[in-house]
Structure 1
Amino acid sequence: MRALIIVDVQNDFCEGGSLAVTGGAALARAISDYLAEAADYHHVVATKDFHIDPGDHFSGTPDYSSSWPPHCVSGTPGADFHPSLDTSAIEAVFYKGAYTGAYSGFEGVDENGHATAELAAATRRR
């Protein structure tokens, strides 16, 4: 069984975002192109960095190691998927970092509270 996990392709991590990475928009387009050509995945899921109140993860003077400028804040356009990412194949989104910093997609939960790790275990069982 093949699964694809799309990680944090969000506006704040692409050009123009508060924590932009050069090439982020191009990567969003490339992922969409790849999905259009390689549709043989059993599961396609995505993660989102999704902060509600992450405590000291945000800082006015970030060290870019354990503290960062505000980014991917719940309810803001920065937390949305980049518009170049075609999300039609994504069957579940796992949100991470609501109340703390999170650096792994396997720390996330979906809208029903199911952990990303549960998806990984279910995929291995099939």
Structure 2
Amino acid sequence: MKGLLIVDMQNDFCAGGALEVKESEHVIEPINKLIEKFNKNGDFIIGTLDWHPKEHKSFGENSNGEIGKIGELNGIPQIWWPVHCVENTFGAQIHKEILFFENKIYKGTSIEIDSYSGFFDNGRLKSTNLHKILCENNVDTLYVVGLATDYCVKFTVLDAIDLGYKVYVVKEGCRGVNINENDSILALENMEKMGAHVISIKDIKF
């Protein structure tokens, strides 16, 4: 079965948010088209959400780290981020223009470790329920969209490939942070190298 995986389409990553991804507004229309298509075909839809406690140590202000710079958090390299997607706040809510979908996975809930991937934390110490839910719904093929290409999309895709899913990344439905200018381009190339198919929405015929 096919599944649409929508990564972190939350207010804090969209225009005006605490960790705004440039051009994030351009992914809303293609994502909504895919939601409509998957709903019409009776395929599975699920989304991930960053859901951080306010004390999360990936936040620069909580770890005395300079925003955008790399440090170390519990032995794992960590980029220091501004406070974002704090659980039960407006910034953590899914953008109001994204069409409703029911199934959601919450990640980044442990204070001590960040979680870019929708499947595992950054140290692969714990998993979310995403793989379990996909298996329960017989999903073996994933179409992935969302924010951001160079972080949560990339690591979710790489873990999905490692877990045995066939993965398509729909490029119109993704945008990146791009701390470095070519980060998103390099992320897409890395995903392709590892086995993902980077496609255009017009290539989806089902």
TM-score by length of 2: 0.52
Question: Quick one: which amino acid aligns to residue 41 of structure 2?
Answer: D
Q: Which string of whole-angstrom CA distances, capped at 9 and with x for unpartnered residues, describes residues 76-103 of structure 1?
A: 111000111011xx23100000123101
Choose between structure 1 and 2: higher strand proportion. Answer: 2
| Alpha-carbon offset, residue 56 of structure 1 | 2.0
Residues 1:119 and 2:130 aligned together: no
Q: Which residue of 60, 82, 107 corresponds with 1:96?
A: 107
1:25 is the counterpart of 2:25: yes
Q: Are the counterparts in 1 of residues 44 and 139 from structure 2 also a CA contact under 8 Å?
A: no
Deviations 1:21-59 (A, max 9, x none): 112122123211332245325210100011014532111
More divergent stretch after superposition (4-13 vs 63-72): 63-72
Alpha-carbon distance in 1 for matches of 2:104, 2:116:
16
Asked whether 1:62 is paired with 2:76, we answer no
Distance 1:27 1:64 in 2: 27
Q: CA deviation at 1:14?
A: 0.7
SS in 2 for 1:106: coil
**What TM-score does the superposition give when structure 1 sets the normalisation length?**
0.81
2:93 maps to 80
Q: Distance in 2 between matches of 1:64 and 1:91?
A: 36
**What is the distance in 2 between the residues matched to 1:26 and 1:102?**
25
- 2:55 paired with 1:50: no
**Match for 1:122: what amino acid?**
E
For the Cα contact (< 8 Å) 2:58–2:114, is it kept in 1? yes
Letter in 1 for 2:13: F
Structure 1 unmatched ranges of 5 or more: 109-113
- Matched residue type, 1:63: G
Q: Report the count of equivalent residues.
A: 119
Bigger Rg, which one? 2
Q: Which has the higher contact order (CA 8 A, sep 6+)?
A: 1
